[in-house]
Structure 1
Amino acid sequence: MTTSPSPDHIPDPEAAPENAAAVVLDDVRYPLDQLSDAARGNIASIKFCDEAIQQRRNELAVADTARMAYASALKREMGKGDTNDSADAPG
């Protein structure tokens, strides 16, 4: 993310231990327990979008694999036509 919060609302990144839940924006660590409800809501929305994007990528991978299989099956089927009578060929 490249969003830069206004300087007067930046939580002190040193206020929480390193193992506390946090979000990093522009190389600055912000502990989640110091974020506003609006900021947490935006984080939840970003996570939702990331999950939706990943789901679409997974669906695309499945569709792409299926398409390759159908194209391969079509090539095999078209190859069978080479031995048939030329009257069956299109054109």
Structure 2
Amino acid sequence: MGFVAEDLTTNRSLNIFSQWLKGNCQPNYRKNVTPDPSKSCGPYRPEAIQAQNKRERPVNIHSHDTIVELETLLLSVQGPMQTVRLVLLQQQAMETS
């Protein structure tokens, strides 16, 4: 069921990709990764998270951007699975209120 797998590579796309590889994968828009994306094609790993000087804002249930703030916090601290859990809990809370 579904589509039959097929190679969509063309001579033109292969040439563009080869030139990109020869040019150290530039342009490359990755940020906060190691090795240096301007000099290497990877594989990349996230750099260590550095403390940021952010202005802290109080977050509560009445904040219109509570979900975004909490998602950002959880992504930086615990990763994407915790964020998914938060979104599901938030949706559940909205349905019951």
TM-score (norm 1): 0.25
Higher relative contact order (CA 8 A, sep 6+): 1
Structure with greater Cα Rg: 1
More helix by proportion, 1 or 2? 1
